[in-house]
Structure 1
Amino acid sequence: MVQKIALGCTTEATRPDCIQALVVEFIATFLFVFTGVGSSMVVDKVGGDALVGLFFVAVAHALVVAVMVSTAHISGGHINPAVTLGLLVGGHITVFRSILYWIDQLVAAALASYLLYYLTGGQTTPVHTLATGVGYGQGVIWEIVLTFSLMFTVYGTMVDPKKGPLAGYGPTLVGFVVGANILAGGAFSAASMNPARSFGPALVTGIWTDHWVYWVGPLIGGALAGFIYENFFIHRSHVLLGQDQEN
């Protein structure tokens, strides 16, 4: 059964719980992008073997995702517009609050990237682009599959009410899948899985090459995973949060 998407209303922006969630989401996204982009800048600065560099970036992203998702439980720890969209499709967040989250995430990513640029003395910020030989279609599919994997893990370990023995390990497992996906796809599509993570460096450098790929792919992957998991694997006997406001 297809879940009804809750529209929400503008008054949500003035509710204390929403304001608190936005502040937490901003902080978590800022710190995630700061560490994620910072790790890529370290690899560029010190050089060395490409495989070691990829592993370093993957581990840094895995660790910071696990911690930020865990500590940002007030907002849900999305730190990713694609995750927000996946939860929106599943009926777990209203359309209006999703828009606020997206703005929050993009601004946080931009500020984190600008701060890194300043702190490193103007070091070039690595931008997500497709590897040589990887076409647009391939890049989009890479990002769809990788983000689907991420969103499917979010649902299976954190959203599904029947998590069973996985309860409590959700943030760590989400971090693991982010790190694994970077190891698998980082050398091909850059394995963004997160439009905000790609947006910050692109804004700072003014380099928008292939940038649309990191919106189209992750958003499709996140929405598809949210729709499939919510409608085929979760069986609910109650109305989802926010939907009662629309009836």
Structure 2
Amino acid sequence: MSGEAPMCEVDLGGGKVKETNTVGRCRVSFYERYIQPCMAELLGSALFIFIGCLSVIENNPNAGLLQPALAHGLALGLIIAILGNISGGHFNPAVSLAVTLIGGLNIMLLIPYWISQLFGGLIGAALAKAVSPEERFWNASGAAFATVQEEGQVAVALGTEIILTMLLALAVCMGAVNGKTKGPLAPFSIGFSVIVDILAGGAISGACMNPARAFGPAVMAGYWDFHWIYWLGPLLAGLFVGLLIRLFIGDEKTRLILKAR
């Protein structure tokens, strides 16, 4: 009917909602639901990886793993608190994979999220290189992961990356996505999981837990030795966490929500 407002159908991940709206407002809604989250992932990833890389490049040797652990964890919690309501605050391809598998992210956004996170990693690492003294940058391998130096370390490092990333992905899925368990302290819980992971496993694998965090510094420093560990380990962990939550909790109990944005 000519007097009836057009219907705007929006896919929220867990289902479709029809909104009576004008064409212009439908376009804004599409932007807010699809473009804006990717921009938030790009910005958040760039900020997180910039701070993380600087914490490694400028690390005081006497501080050991404490400085990078605190910088990564506190930065991630803060950035999630700032941008989480726009994109979910993943900033990590492995986390996005886990959240998608349990129904908390529209599958159409998975690849755009990955691309945004990887480009964010490049931007963050490039900014860290730009502001760092050249000698310190190269002494720290540009904050690329250089912990694994020989084949004999690969199996242990890969297993460590899987376990550490599972803890991080569980903190996100159960603390920020699952309708029955999520709470307002999720950003801090996720940040603390990163701190704990780095303190526990940093000396074994580097405790990357994030392909975007590995990719940006590797490009800037040209350091690719055993780089595949930091893709395979975290992505396997995201896959395992997604399957575990679906198996033991089930779709009807998770009540996974993507808020209308």
C-alpha change, 1:143 and 1:237, in structure 2 (3 Å) is closer
Deviations for 1:167-205, whole angstroms, at most 9, x for unmatched residues? 100010000010000000000100000000010100001
Contact 1:160-1:234 at 8 Å conserved across structures: no
Contact 1:131-1:187 at 8 Å conserved across structures: no
Output the CA distance in 2 between the equivalents of 1:89 and 1:63. Answer: 27
Stretch of structure 1 that moved more, 131-140 or 221-230 = 131-140
SS in 2 for 1:15: helix
Deviations for 1:38-92, whole angstroms, at most 9, x for unmatched residues? 100111xxx432xx23111101111001011111121000000000011111122
The normalised TM-score by structure 1 is 0.84
Letter aligned with residue 55 of structure 1: L
Stretch of structure 1 that moved more, 208-217 or 20-29 = 20-29
Contact 1:150-1:174 at 8 Å conserved across structures: yes
The normalised TM-score by structure 2 is 0.80
Output the CA distance in 1 between the equivalents of 2:223 and 2:128. Answer: 16
Matching residue of 2:64: 53
Output the CA distance in 1 between the equivalents of 2:250 and 2:70. Answer: 31
Rg: which structure is higher? Answer: 2
Matching residue of 2:78: 67
Matching residue of 2:48: 32
The runs of 5 or more residues in structure 2 that have no matched partner are 1-12, 15-26
Output the CA distance in 1 between the equivalents of 2:238 and 2:205. Answer: 16
Contact 2:148-2:205 at 8 Å conserved across structures: yes
Letter aligned with residue 105 of structure 1: Q
Output the CA distance in 2 between the equivalents of 1:151 and 1:237. Answer: 18
Which residue of the other structure, out of 144, 155, 160, is the alignment partner of 1:137?
155
Output the CA distance in 2 between the equivalents of 1:112 and 1:179. Answer: 20
C-alpha change, 1:235 and 1:180, in structure 2 (3 Å) is same
CA-based RMSD of the aligned residues comes to 2.4
How far apart are residue 25 of structure 1 and its match? 1.2
How far apart are residue 96 of structure 1 and its match? 2.6
Matching residue of 1:126: 143
SS in 2 for 1:135: helix
Deviations for 1:138-178, whole angstroms, at most 9, x for unmatched residues? 11111100001111111221112112xx6100010000010
Aligned residues between the structures: 226
Letter aligned with residue 172 of structure 2: V
1:15 to 2:30 alignment: yes
How far apart are residue 22 of structure 1 and its match? 1.1
1:106 to 2:124 alignment: no
Matching residue of 2:96: 84
Output the CA distance in 1 between the equivalents of 2:231 and 2:148. Answer: 17
Output the CA distance in 2 between the equivalents of 1:97 and 1:132. Answer: 36
Deviations for 1:82-140, whole angstroms, at most 9, x for unmatched residues? 00011111122233311001000001110111121112243321211334575222111
Letter aligned with residue 100 of structure 1: P
Matching residue of 1:150: 168
Matching residue of 2:213: 197
Output the CA distance in 1 between the equivalents of 2:256 and 2:242. Answer: 14
Which residue of the other structure, out of 104, 107, 131, is the alignment partner of 1:95?
107
Bigger relative contact order, structure 1 or 2 (CA pairs below 8 A, ≥6 apart): 1
The runs of 5 or more residues in structure 1 that have no matched partner are 7-11, 243-247
Output the CA distance in 2 between the equivalents of 1:210 and 1:64. Answer: 26
1:216 to 2:232 alignment: yes
Matching residue of 2:3: none
